[in-house]
A = this chain, B = another copy of it.
Amino acid sequence: MARNPLTREEVLEAAASLVRRHGPAALTMRGLAADLGTAVTSIYWHVGNRESLLDALVERTVQEMGAVRPVGRTPAARILSVARILRRELRGRPHLIAMVHERGLTERMFLPAQQALVHEVHAAGLRGARAADAVRAIQFQIVGFLLVERNRERSPAQSPAEGDLWDPATAPDDPALARALSRPADPERLFLLSVRALTEALLARPGD
């Protein structure tokens, strides 16, 4: 029955794996103890309580999102690459990202990306308060889009579906638009299109 002494790291690892696979609701202290083959109360010795266990998982996730390396020739292209990188990272950890969001740490998670954006906006020639606005607008745009997209994926069958509302009868004067809106959106395309449009408007804007 002897087993290596339990470590905090083991607890976190098992908990993270549980959350990754089945979401935070599936993480019960008793279930986790069963997974680890220890008494429930041992876990408390290592991580305090459930709340601080979740905090630790969130903290881990925030750290993991730290690396952002923009690529591309122009500032606009490099900004777009930041968007692309963030999208990929986010989509790999849906439950953990949701937990970061619930805890109000979404912004902190994106600070490294913000630094990258500052650099690019600066390279594009923006300065001062105008540069700050551009950085924040793009940051909000990227993060916001990804939150909406995640929601859409997890979403149950929608009723009424977008399609039901946009059949030709509702918009008789533009069947192509009705058709486009009744098809599911391609999120990646829409994402890149949106970031590109916003970036263009923000970088092009001259001083007033």
Contacts and interface: CB of A to CB of B under 8 A. Distances in A.
Interface of A: 101, 103-108, 111, 114-115, 118, 122, 127-129, 131-133, 135-137, 140-141, 143-149, 151-152, 154-156, 158-160, 162, 165-166, 171, 173-174, 176-177, 180-181, 185, 190, 193-194, 197-198, 200-202, 205
Copies of this chain per assembly = 2
Contacts of A103: 156
Nearest to A142: B144
A160 B105 CA distance: 11
A131 B194 contact: no
A159 B108 CA distance: 8
20 contacts: A104-B152, A104-B154, A104-B155, A105-B155, A105-B158, A107-B155, A107-B158, A108-B160, A118-B166, A118-B177, A127-B174, A128-B177, A128-B180, A131-B180, A136-B185, A137-B194, A137-B197, A143-B144, A144-B147, A147-B148
A54 to B, nearest CB: 13
Given A107-B155, A118-B171, A205-B197, A129 B162 contact: no
Contacts of A136: 181, 185, 190
Contact of A194 (B104, B140, B147, B159): B140
A176 B129 contact: yes
A131 B40 CA distance: 57
A164 to B, nearest CB: 10
